[in-house]
A and B are shown apart, each in its own frame.
Chain A
Amino acid sequence: MLVHSRTGKWAAWAVFFVLFVPLFAVPLLVILAASFTTNWSGAFPSGPTTEHYAAATGGDSLQALTTSLITAVSASLLALTVGSWAALAATSLRRRGRRFLDALFMLPVAVPSVVVGLAVLVAFSKPPMLLNGTRWIVILAHTILVTAFAYSSVSAAIVRLDPMYEQAAASLGARPSYVLWRIKLPLLLPALTAAAGLCFALSMGELSATMMLYPPDWTPLPVQIFAATDRGSLFTGAAVAVVLMGTTLLVLLGVARIRTRASYR
């Protein structure tokens, strides 16, 4: 299209791969390779082993995996509920109300995660809302952080949703609640699942706020990875990181499958 000569094309591709491969592909491959290695201080890793995975899938790390999964699933579901509710409510508001809700629900993106963690810590460390030291404070912080993403993806989908479906349904005698349940939500299902996947992935990788809040008995995977690398067990850290990436990918794939089944056109 832009470059027509054969050499020009090859040059463009060469530039692309020289930049792309080392910057984006190599890091992930290195982590994967390192997770199977005993030692790596040369061109190639040495000593293939699976012992890091024994460590990464048992004991503390297994505990961390379930912790992360429970946190991510609960935070995603909560965020999806609040975010979609707000997005749906926003559509029936006037322009100014809609802008207000937009600004309000996108605010958590603008506030640094560490500060969200600090704020939650400050607010929920004393009665009557004493959550500090429990798992709930972690789940709460994750929910706050991912709600913005749920809100924005659902409201983007609502904007794209053609009002003619709602109107056709209303003209056929469907009450607003019936329209919501039978027409709007089913048509928004692809967007809802996509938002759920996004929230899940973000929560799985959340470190900043978690570092401020996690109680000793509720350490999610990112904290576990940090703990491992901090005490010098880089290879174990890599194995746990692979577990984190693999779990995230698996869930995203599952969500994508649901999504293709739920999209109709």
Chain B
Amino acid sequence: MTGGATGGIRFDQVSVAYGGNTVLDRLDLTVEPGEVMALLGPSGSGKTTALRAVAGFVQPASGRVYLGDRDVTGLPPHKRGIGMVVQQYALFPHMRVHDNVAFGLKARKAAKAEIPERVAEALELVGMAAYAERYPRELSGGQQQRVAIARALAIRPGVLLLDEPLSALDARLRSGMLAELARLHRELPDVSILYVTHDQVEALTLADRIAVMDKARLQDCGTPQELYRRPRTEFTASFVGNANLLPVTVADGADTVDFAGRALDVPTGEAAGGATATLCVRPHLVGLGDGPNALSGTIAEVQWRGSTHRLYVDVDGHRVKADLRELRETPALGDTVTLHFAAEDAVLLPAGTAPGTGGGAHA
């Protein structure tokens, strides 16, 4: 199955408002043909609104939406030719599986002779060929999910929209479906996928790039590795993975910051001396014992998490998290310990990164 002649999605300054309440604020984003773009953000961040603007179920107050090079902003949903899978699957309960999958083909008046073949093909692709005669209510959640995907793919869309497709599944099924989606994308390399989720694991696993949304605005966009290793905002740092965010002042000298009276060696890039900034260090990159950038403090809490220990250490009134490989001897509350981290594992972010001000602090 191949995608349409033109793939890709482009948001051009798209804003959506409900009754004076802006739920999507001037979104600029391009999803390339064949790319998986995850829209990641908390609920109310505007990510689902963005997806529904592509599908045509919400009308932008301003801005344009393009599918390929076609402006679809004013087009009703049924003329857009996109595939969509929603959280609750929305399989038509009064139709058997094969009729569900054939629905889009019939609605678009595909050649009658072609329909059974394409239905079989789509069902084969998601491994549901054996269930063609079932009704949706006779299927499990995971199976319904596959049928919903087959139904969306049967019309051979250039763009596939997935709105929290895994959130109705239990944790075990979810990781299986995640692998399944990755396989599907390998088999359909030309289809652009816009994947809305609030789950960073899904986004990190599946996406070629992640667009991080918060408060109706795009906060950050990049490959999973970029966002994880080099976040550009405090929001990205804390939403994609876990982060220690420490308030620091950039020292005048090269690559040094001041944290609660201590000098720490971290790359400061273009940040000006004397500026306040936020230092981001991932908890699993923090080590126990003396080393470069040592921070000593008292243990406030210890959590055993199976394979790791999470220590909460108070360093001069700032709480620092450290994820350590399971410790033989668990430190007691109130013990004084020293933590350290390598200079290259730290990222300097602009302080109090307000929504939408964009990155730039990291070099």
Residues of chain A touching chain B, judged by Cβ–Cβ distance below 8 Å, are 162, 164-165, 167-176, 178-179, 182-183, 186-187, 189, 262, 264-265
Contact = CB atoms under 8 A, between A and B. Distances in A.
A175 to B, nearest CB: 6
Contact of A172 (B88, B103, B136): B103
A186 B135 CA distance: 15
B55 A167 contact: yes
Given A171-B77, A173-B104, 5 more contacts: A168-B86, A172-B108, A174-B103, A178-B107, A264-B135
A265 B78 contact: no
Contacts of A165: 90, 92
B137 interface: yes
A179 to B, nearest CB: 8
Interface in B140-166: 151-152, 155, 161
A171 B55 contact: yes
A31 B8 CA distance: 73
A166 to B, nearest CB: 9
Nearest to B82: A171
A189 B92 CA distance: 14
Given A174-B103, A174-B104, A264 B94 contact: yes
B81 interface: yes
Nearest to B54: A171
B94 A167 contact: no
B93 A264 contact: yes
Nearest to A167: B57
Nearest to B151: A172
Among B82, B88, B103, B151, max chain A CB count under 10 A is at B103
Contacts, number: 78
B103 A171 contact: no
Contacts of A189: 94
Classify the interface of chain A: helix, strand, loop or mixed: helix
Contacts of B136: 264
5 contacts: A167-B77, A169-B103, A171-B78, A172-B78, A183-B92
Contacts of A262: 94
Contacts of A170: 56-57, 76-78
B163 to A, nearest CB: 10
Interface of B: 55-57, 76-84, 86, 88, 90, 92-94, 103-104, 107-108, 135-137, 151-152, 155, 161
A262 B81 CA distance: 31
A64 to B, nearest CB: 39
A173 B92 contact: no
Among A162, A174, A186, max chain B CB count under 10 A is at A174
Nearest to B52: A167
A187 B93 contact: yes
Contacts of B77: 167, 170-171
A170 B104 CA distance: 9
B84 A264 contact: no
A186 B90 CA distance: 15
Contacts of A169: 78, 92, 103, 107
A172 to B, nearest CB: 3
Contacts of B88: 162, 164
Given A164-B88, A264-B137, A172 B107 contact: yes
B97 to A, nearest CB: 13
Contact of B94 (A175, A176, A186): A186
Contacts of A264: 93-94, 135-137
Nearest to A172: B104
A187 B94 CA distance: 7
A176 B81 CA distance: 15
A179 B92 CA distance: 11
A160 B21 CA distance: 26
A171 B137 contact: no
B58 to A, nearest CB: 11
A173 B4 CA distance: 14
A175 B78 contact: yes
Nearest to A164: B90
A164 B103 contact: no
A178 B105 CA distance: 12
A262 B93 CA distance: 10
Given A187-B93, A264-B94, A171 B83 contact: yes
Nearest to B109: A173
A173 to B, nearest CB: 4
Contacts of B161: 171
